[in-house]
């Protein structure tokens, strides 16, 4: 969802066609509609759902840009134990890009889980908002737990202590998907 403020008298269908005629082939407007003047696509979000996909199996060149090709086994049980520490309201400063400077890093994670299907791991996070690299850093830290480089309890410590950002690993962007936004 995006919003624009325009001073042009155009029907939603004609606006959709006009936008699609100018956009690159990898972007496509599905629908357009007229909304209240006070609507804001970013600030009125109630919750977002992100899914991150990782391949533990054989390298798949067809998915190299859409799924993180980790291509090694991970300790899923330790990762599942660790992901629960993200639930609830926390200061996620250690899980955000260092260049993302702000007064408040508090966000609430309503639900998070790990599902395995074949050689793929699906990490799901639902929260009231996410900051730059937050999901990728949470997933990367879970990967470190799965590699036995961190203990499950280290995730809790990273959330609670300012001096532990160095333990966080940023997973590549190729496996990250914003799959749902609720207003």
State residue 44's pLDDT score.
Answer: 94
Contact 75, 145 (CB under 8 A): yes
Tokens representing 20 are: 């699609």
* Mean pLDDT split into 10-residue runs, the chain, 183 residues: 91 96 96 94 95 98 98 98 98 93 96 98 98 97 98 97 92 97 96
State residue 162's pLDDT score.
Answer: 85
Tokens representing 179 are: 């799959």
- The per-residue pLDDT for range 29-45, each reduced to its tens digit, is 999 999 999 999 989 99
Q: Enumerate residues 6+ apart whose C-beta is below 8 A from 140.
A: 168, 169, 170, 171
State residue 80's pLDDT score.
Answer: 98
Question: 3-state SS string over 79-116?
Answer: HHHHHHHHCEEEECHHHCCCCCCCCCCEEEEEEEEEEE
Give SS3 for 182.
strand
State residue 93's pLDDT score.
Answer: 96
State residue 163's pLDDT score.
Answer: 84
**Count of other CB atoms within 10 angstroms of residue 183:** 11
């Amino acid at each position: 969802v995006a919003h624009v403020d325009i001073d042009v008298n155009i029907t939603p269908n004609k606006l959709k066609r006009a936008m699609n005629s100018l956009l690159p082939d990898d972007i496509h407007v599905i629908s357009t509609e007229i909304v209240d003047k006070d609507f804001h696509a970013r600030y009125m979000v109630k919750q977002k759902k992100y899914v991150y996909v990782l391949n533990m199996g054989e390298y798949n060149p067809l998915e190299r840009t859409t799924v993180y090709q980790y291509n090694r086994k991970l300790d899923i049980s330790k990762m599942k134990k660790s992901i629960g520490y993200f639930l609830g309201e926390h200061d996620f400063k250690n899980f955000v890009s260092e260049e993302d400077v702000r007064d408040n890093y508090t966000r609430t994670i309503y639900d998070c889980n790990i599902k395995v299907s074949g050689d793929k791991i699906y990490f799901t996070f639902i929260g009231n908002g996410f900051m730059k690299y937050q999901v990728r850093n949470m997933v990367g830290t879970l990967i470190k737990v799965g590699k036995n480089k961190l203990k499950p309890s280290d995730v809790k410590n990273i959330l609670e202590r300012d001096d532990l950002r160095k333990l966080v690993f940023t997973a590549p962007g190729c496996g990250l998907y914003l799959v749902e936004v609720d207003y």
